[in-house]
Structure 1
Amino acid sequence: MNLFPILVEEYDLSGSPDFDTFRKIIKEDVESEGEGQTGLHSLACGGKSSHGRWDPFTMSESHPLQHCIIPFLQDYVDKVCSSPLCFGNAWYNVLPPGGFTKRHRHEHSVVSGALYLDLPQNSGNLYFVSPLQQYRMCELFRTECEYNAYEIDMNIKENHLYLFPSWLEHGSRVNESDQDRIMVSFNTSHYTPAA
């Protein structure tokens, strides 16, 4: 029996309407350099981010993609028996060779998403940190297994979306490829329909 499981879901967005258009717009923005939409971010070590500067979900070209994500978000919500959610803010991160994302969580969000637009081979996995680590300070383990691991790497895929609880600490391993890794992250909040 697994008690208190944490749901991390993976969804394939390959072939979604306007996915390639969305990717092209993000890549053009990345390559535009100096337009004021990206900058340094304390979590994107060696990289840059549009966090707090530009939200790619505000462009009309992203709306078809958002409509594709909504059923996946609803699937996640149904599995964890949550109240309805809606999109919050979104941003993109660019991690060049040697770049990585520090361990963090997403404050003021319920479920977070990570969508990988460009994911060269060896560009670093997404990893999650066990929320139980602080309570296990006296345990000694002969070897690491699924019941005592403090960090778990997830083998991520290009064009795939990952949804997870925003309180779950996570980060990315070092990009050991010779190309940039580009991904879009977003947050959600509880949706309250108008009366």
Structure 2
Amino acid sequence: MSNIESLFVTRLYRARLNEFGDNLSADEFETSCITIAEDDEAGQIWCEENDYAGYTSYASLTDLGWRFPIFEDLVKILDKHVAEFVKDLEFDLDGRKLELDNIWINILPEGGIHTSHIHPHSVISGTTYVSVPKGASAIKYEDPRSAMMMAAPTRVKDARREQQSFVYVAPEAGDVLLWESWLRHEVPMNMAEDDRISVSFNYAWR
């Protein structure tokens, strides 16, 4: 009798940010993101010069946990989620740790996109969602084997989730998503009238 099993599984962690009982004010969190964006002239200039729709602090402020108390609290919460994900991934860290490398704000307006990319030089990447208006973009993950599928036919429309070439995950405000940094992902065009606000981050092995 034949036996079929899944090999080399790609893991995706999804949880509520407050799952461990930590209290982070959603209103204060959102207000902080907007205020930082309004005050970050360097980030605004970078976005304008690079035709980046909306705002990101990726090129200007990536040490938010050091600069703002609410982000310091956020990092402590994210540390707990990353630790849980590391257990599931069964990493042997050899006595070292995965530590936050950088963290930044994303404000995506109507019509804005984040093109397909990976996060080099880190182990775990993720995003926590501050504001996700109705109709806002899901995050789109790409099968990491795509480059090797030179002559493979497309999948049927109702293929099992783990067999699909692209998987869309629709987050809610207060969610945190974690994945291994080599996993290619993107945010398709935001069709909502209101801003989609999130905070992304990378953890490196040190």
TM, length-normalised to structure 2: 0.83
2:160 aligned with 1:115, yes or no?
no
Amino acid at match of 1:81: E
- Deviation of 1:43 after TM superposition, in Å, equals 8.9
2:153 aligned with 1:140, yes or no?
yes
Paired with 2:141 and 2:48, the residues of 1 have a C-alpha distance of 20
What SS does the corresponding residue of 2:103 show, helix, strand or coil?
Answer: strand
Point out the more displaced range, 156-165 or 140-149: 140-149
2:47 aligned with 1:40, yes or no?
yes
In structure 1, what is the equivalent of residue 77 of structure 2?
A: 68
Structure 1 residues 40-189: aligned runs within 5 Å? 40=47, 45-55=52-62, 56-61=64-69, 62-82=71-91, 83=93, 84-141=97-154, 143-144=156-157, 145-146=159-160, 148-189=163-204
- Deviation of 1:71 after TM superposition, in Å, equals 1.4
In structure 2, what is the equivalent of residue 11 of structure 1?
A: 15
Paired with 2:50 and 2:149, the residues of 1 have a C-alpha distance of 27
- Deviation of 1:37 after TM superposition, in Å, equals 3.7
Aligned residues with identical type, % of pairs: 23
Amino acid at match of 1:6: T
Paired with 1:29 and 1:181, the residues of 2 have a C-alpha distance of 15
Distance change in 2, residues 1:8/1:142 (3 Å): closer
Asked whether the equivalents of residues 44 and 102 of structure 1 are also in contact (C-alpha less than 8 Å), the reply is no
Point out the more displaced range, 33-42 or 121-130: 33-42
Which consecutive segments of 4 or more residues in structure 1 shift more than 4 A?
A: 41-45
Asked whether the equivalents of residues 95 and 175 of structure 1 are also in contact (C-alpha less than 8 Å), the reply is yes
- Deviation of 1:157 after TM superposition, in Å, equals 1.2
- Deviation of 1:34 after TM superposition, in Å, equals 6.0
- Deviation of 1:45 after TM superposition, in Å, equals 4.6
Amino acid at match of 1:10: R
TM, length-normalised to structure 1: 0.87
What RMSD, in angstroms, separates the aligned Cα atoms of the two structures?
2.2
Distance change in 2, residues 1:2/1:134 (3 Å): same
- Deviation of 1:44 after TM superposition, in Å, equals 8.2
Residue segments in structure 2 that go unaligned for 5+ positions in a row = none
Q: Note the alpha carbon deviations across 1:33-56, whole angstroms, 9 max, x for none.
A: 663344418998522211120122
Residue segments in structure 1 that go unaligned for 5+ positions in a row = none
